Amino acid sequence: MTFESLNLHEKILKAVAQQGYRSPTPIQAKAIPIILARKDVLAGAQTGTGKTAGFTLPMLELMMKKDIKKGRHQVRSLILTPTRELSAQVGEDIATYSKYLPFTSAVVFGGVGINPQIAKIKKGVDILVATPGRLLDLVAQEKLDLSRVEFFVLDEADRMLDMGFIHDIKKVLAILPPRRQNLLFSATFSDDIKKLADKLLNNPTLIEVAKRNQSAENISQVVYLVDKSRKRELLSHLIRKGDWYQVLVFMRTKHGANKLVKELTKDNINSAAIHGNKSQTARTKALKDFKEKTISVLVATDIAARGIDIDQLPHVVNYELPNISEDYVHRIGRTGRAGNSGEAISLVCVDELDYLKNIEKLIKKPIKKIYEDGFDVDATIKAEPIQNGRGGARRKGGGNSRGKNQSKTQNKFGANSSNTNSQGQRGRGNLRKQTAKY
């Protein structure tokens, strides 16, 4: 299939061609005709599948079809995303694909000054990308009119719910005019997502590209079994040995991310951390340096990493396994994007074997285990409880858009987690013994 066969405006095709895309990705091939037919869509697609262009290109086409008085800009398309980084990325993509079209677009998110955003909106915006909290702030301050929205996208809806945005989403839906086209994108379909889809979507067409809860095929996954105290050493060793130049490393906590950056610096490996405690400027800089390959390692917490969008990210490392198995799928979705192969490496110590089991259950296959030469595991080490401390907790009922209730949620989450190790420790032996079956 070609983009030309999708009935898109030549100015859209020109922008797409300039990106060097040869043919639509599967989600694009499926979604574009359905969206152009003005149907609501429920799409199961992970980041990396090309989903942003999948909804943006037909959105632009539909916007072009409507006769609007020249120079009259009103928000007609609204895209809601869970994080600042993802908003910024989607905004960049929209600017790219619409560069030959007469539309203006803007991105609004919290954590930065609201006044420049108000000024931009005042000038007139056709397409708005937003995180829920800032969007509602702007509406509350009467700086934003959403009464002309015709096209609404909820991007990474599962992540939105995980981050506790459900009330904000409901508030936004209540403001929007009832006659509109709705799209919901989600990597996973929990019951909560289905409930939200029922509320939001009108007789939707279901599109699924990567099978639900299964990790992408073009990602090779390996686990290195290693003692906790030697993870950093092993990471530096693997980076050097493999000549890895662009590695995204996931940590459970912000504190852990900062500490790892310090240690990698001692090993002469250029790295930076990106997490919620970093200012927007610091995050943007870290991301830019990483994209430009000035730094080779970006250490991120799950939330901060959501919006990172880099073509062909070759390596993703789980320095610590996530305590929520679905996060593993999200994390490794950062590599092997849009048809390129990638490698997802997990450094797993004895404490994390239960997490590993849960992940393998979710992805429905065992992950290859490796013992690296020179990194023999110490058979005498017993599993210890994992601290899911700062930055690790933000699940259901969790922090709201403005970051309140954070510590409360963490406690609750830690206590409720089915993965906590009081349970996991029972009957646990050492790493070699436990993984002998592999």
**Min dist. Cβ of residue 67 to ligand AMP (A):** 29
Report how far residue 240's alpha carbon sits from residue 74's, in angstroms, rounded to the nearest whole number. Answer: 52
**Min dist. Cβ of residue 309 to ligand AMP (A):** 5
Could you tell me where the beta strands, DSSP code E, fall in 304-391? Answer: 315-318, 342-348, 368-370
Cβ proximity of 138 and 121 under 8 Å: yes
Q: State which residue, 162 or 309, has the beta carbon closest to ligand AMP.
A: 309
Nearest to 358 by CA among 427, 410, 423, 436: 423
Q: Print burial letters for 136-156: b (CB count within 10 Å at least 16), e (below 16).
A: bbbeeeebbebebbbbbbbbb
Q: State which residue, 308 or 353, has the beta carbon closest to ligand AMP.
A: 308
**Min dist. Cβ of residue 90 to ligand AMP (A):** 8
Question: Would you tell me which residues interact with ligand AMP (CB under 6 A)?
Answer: 21, 24-25, 28, 47-53, 309, 311, 337-338
Cβ proximity of 206 and 328 under 8 Å: no
Q: State which residue, 129 or 144, has the beta carbon closest to ligand AMP.
A: 129
| C-alpha radius of gyration, the chain, whole number | 22
**Min dist. Cβ of residue 292 to ligand AMP (A):** 15
Q: State which residue, 68 or 338, has the beta carbon closest to ligand AMP.
A: 338
In eight-state DSSP terms, residue 142 is T
Report how far residue 388's alpha carbon sits from residue 58's, in angstroms, rounded to the nearest whole number. Answer: 42
**Min dist. Cβ of residue 400 to ligand AMP (A):** 26
**Min dist. Cβ of residue 1 to ligand AMP (A):** 10
Q: State which residue, 55 or 224, has the beta carbon closest to ligand AMP.
A: 55
**Min dist. Cβ of residue 125 to ligand AMP (A):** 21
**Min dist. Cβ of residue 318 to ligand AMP (A):** 20
Q: State which residue, 216 or 350, has the beta carbon closest to ligand AMP.
A: 216
Q: State which residue, 202 or 214, has the beta carbon closest to ligand AMP.
A: 214
Helix 280-291 / helix 84-97 crossing angle, nearest 10 deg? 60
Nearest to 177 by CA among 154, 146, 202, 155: 146
Report how far residue 270's alpha carbon sits from residue 70's, in angstroms, rounded to the nearest whole number. Answer: 49
Q: State which residue, 23 or 411, has the beta carbon closest to ligand AMP.
A: 23
CB atoms within 10 A of CB 338: 15
Inter-CA distances, 193 with 34, 94, 213, Å: 21, 25, 14
Q: Dig out the tokens for 290 from the structure.
A: 């990483």
Cβ proximity of 351 and 384 under 8 Å: yes
